[in-house]
Structure 1
Amino acid sequence: MELRLLPRRDALVPLLMLLLLLVVVVHVHATPRLEMVVTSSAASGGGAGTTSRARAAPAPAAACASWRLGVETNNIRGWYGIPAECRGYVSGYMLGEQFRQDCAVVAREAAAYAEGLALAGDGREAWVLDVDDTALSNLPYYADTGFGAQPYNATYFDEYVANATAPALREVLELYGKLLALGIRVVFITGRHDYQREPTVENLRSAGYHTWEKLVLKPSSLGSSVVPYKSGERQKLVDAGYRIVGNMGDQWSDLVGAPEGERTFKVPDPMYYVA
C-alpha cells in the first residue's frame, strides 16, 4: 500500500495566490487599451495645436481592426484623432488593398440596388453624394498629415482644396457613371464652404465628374454641425419634387437626419470624425 502525503491547507494558499496573480498579469497584457489622440482646442481652429499621445507599446493589428469596426458602425463617436497605437495600422489600411476592396463592396452594393429600382423616368430620382473622401479622395492631404494622427489644419486643407488636385475615389466614380446611365440625377452636398465653389467645380470635372444636377456648398455663416445642414438641404430637394433614392458619404453625419433617402451607403473612413 502506497502512502501519499497531501499538502497542508496553509501551504496551498500561497500557491493559489500565485496562480491568480499570473492570470491577472496575462489578462492585462493580452487586452491592450487603445489611447485616443486628443486634440487641443487651439488645433480645432486650424492653428498650431498640440497632440497628446499615450506612451504605450504598439497595439496588435486585431485591436486596431476592432477599433476601426467601432468607428465604421458608429459605435465610437466624438473622437478627435486615431488611437496613437493605430497610426501605422490606419496608414497601412488606407494605402493597402483592403481599403480598395471595402470601397468596391460599397460601390457594388449601391450599383446593384440602383439597377434594381423601378424608376419613373421623369428625371426626379436623385442620388446624393458627399464630396470629400467620397466623390474625391483627400488621401494625399491625410498622407501628409499623419493619416489623422495630427491635428486638423484648416489653413493647409484650404490650400489643398484650392489646388483642385484631389483624385476621384475610383469606385465612387464608376458608380457615378452607372447612376447617370440609369437616368438618376446626381446631387453633390458637401461640407466645403461656398467660397470654395470654383476650385470644387474644377476638381470634380478634372476628376471625371462632368455633370450633376446640383452642387450644394455650406454657407460660411452656418455653424460647424453637419447634420442640420445636410438634412436641411435634402429636405429642400424633397420639397422641390425630387425623390432621393440613394445617399452616400464617408461620415455618419452625411447620412443621418431626415430625410435620409430611401437607402444610405457609407464609404469607409477611419481617419477622422465629423459630427
Structure 2
Amino acid sequence: MHPTRSIHLAAATTHLSDQQLHLMTRRSEAAALAALILALAASLLAEGTPWFWPPATGDDPYCLSWRVMVEANNAKGWRTVPPPCVGYVWSYMGWGQYSRDVGSVADQISAYAAQLAPGADGLDAWVFDVDDTCLSNLFYYQTKQFGAYDPVAFKAWASRGICPGIPAMAQLFQTLKGRGFRVFLLSGRSEQELGSSTASNLAAAGFAGYDRLILRSAGYRGVSAVVFKSAMRRQLVEEGFRIRGNVGDQWSDLQGDLVGDRVFKVPNPMYFVP
C-alpha cells in the first residue's frame, strides 16, 4: 500500500474511533443524568421537600373541598384541575402533605397485611397500579399545568423511563414481598410501546422482583380501564391466585370485577381516568 494512503487510512480510523468514543461518552452521561434525576426526585418525595415554588398556598377552602370530592369519588368525569386550584394542587403535591398522605395509606395497607397469613401454596396476591401508585408523574403534569391528557406527550415522557418511584409505595412493595405475598403490577400503559421502558423504570425506582408486569395489549386498545383491569384480574383468579388487596390512585383501578378482598386508594388530584 502506498505510504500516503496508509496515513490517510489511519487518520480516518482514528477519526471514526473518536466519534464512537464521543457517542459512548454522551450515552454514559445521559444514563448518569437519568439516574441522578431518579435519586434526587425519590429523595425529595420521601422528605416532602418542595422542588418548585408554588404559585398559591395550600389552604384554599374551595380547592380543599374539590380535592376531597375527587378522593371520595364524588367528582367524576373531570378532564383538568379547575383553574383556581392549579396552585393548590402544586402546593399539595410538592410541599409535603401528599407524601404524608401516601405514607398513611401505606401504613394502613401494611397493618392490614400483617393480619393476613399467606398460604403455603404461594397464591396470595396483591395488585398494584403503576402510574402515580408506584411511579410518580408529577414532573410531567406540573409542566402541563395539570391539563387534559395528551397521549402523545405522555408516551414521550414515559418512554424516557425517568419517573421517580414513590418511596412509601416502594417500601410497602418490598414489605409485602417479604411477607410472602405475590405482587402483580397492572397498568394501562401500552405493552408494545412502553413495555421495555416501564420495566427498566420500575427496576431503577425500587420495584424489582414483582411476579408479573401486566400492560395493555393491542387487543385491549380503546377499552376502558375498568374493563381492561377487570379482565386482567380475572385471568389471575383463573390461574388460582387470591387477590388479598388492590392498590391504585384511580377509582377505575379499584372498580369492576374481582377487585380483591380490600381496595386502597392512593391520593391523586392531578388527573382522572374513567
TM range (shorter): 0.7 to 0.9
- Aligned-residue offset at 1:273: 0.4
Residue-by-residue CA offset, 1:197-234 (whole Å, 9 max, x unaligned): 10011000011111111111012342141001001110
User: Structure 2: which 5+ residue stretches go unaligned?
Assistant: 1-56
Change (3 A) 1:183 1:59: closer
Aligned to 2:217: 219
SS at match of 1:92: helix
Aligned to 1:178: 175
Aligned to 1:162: 159
| Contact map agreement 1:59 1:86 (CA 8 A) in 2 | no
1:88 corresponds to which letter in structure 2?
G
Aligned identity (percent) is 42
Aligned to 1:238: 237
Q: Distance in 2 between matches of 1:59 and 1:197?
A: 36
| Contact map agreement 1:244 1:262 (CA 8 A) in 2 | yes
Aligned to 1:95: 94
Structure whose residues are more often helix by fraction: 2
| Contact map agreement 2:58 2:91 (CA 8 A) in 1 | no
4+ residue segments displaced more than 3 Å:
none
2:83 corresponds to which letter in structure 1?
A
1:164 corresponds to which letter in structure 2?
G
1:131 corresponds to which letter in structure 2?
V
Aligned length: 216
Q: CA RMSD in A?
A: 1.5
| Contact map agreement 1:121 1:183 (CA 8 A) in 2 | no
Aligned to 1:5: none
Is 1:190 matched with 2:187?
Answer: yes
Q: How does 1:28-107 map to 2 (within 5 A)?
A: 61-107=60-106
Is 1:266 matched with 2:265?
Answer: yes
Aligned to 1:25: none
Residue-by-residue CA offset, 1:222-251 (whole Å, 9 max, x unaligned): 214100100111011011000000100000
Q: Distance in 1 between matches of 2:104 and 2:75?
A: 22
1:192 corresponds to which letter in structure 2?
R
Residue-by-residue CA offset, 1:138-192 (whole Å, 9 max, x unaligned): 111111111x1x2322222111111101010111001001001001011011010
Aligned to 1:201: 199
- Aligned-residue offset at 1:118: 2.3
User: Structure 1: which 5+ residue stretches go unaligned?
Assistant: 1-57
2:243 corresponds to which letter in structure 1?
I
- Aligned-residue offset at 1:257: 0.7
- TM-score, reference length from structure 1: 0.76
- Aligned-residue offset at 1:82: 0.9
Is the radius of gyration larger for structure 1 or structure 2?
1
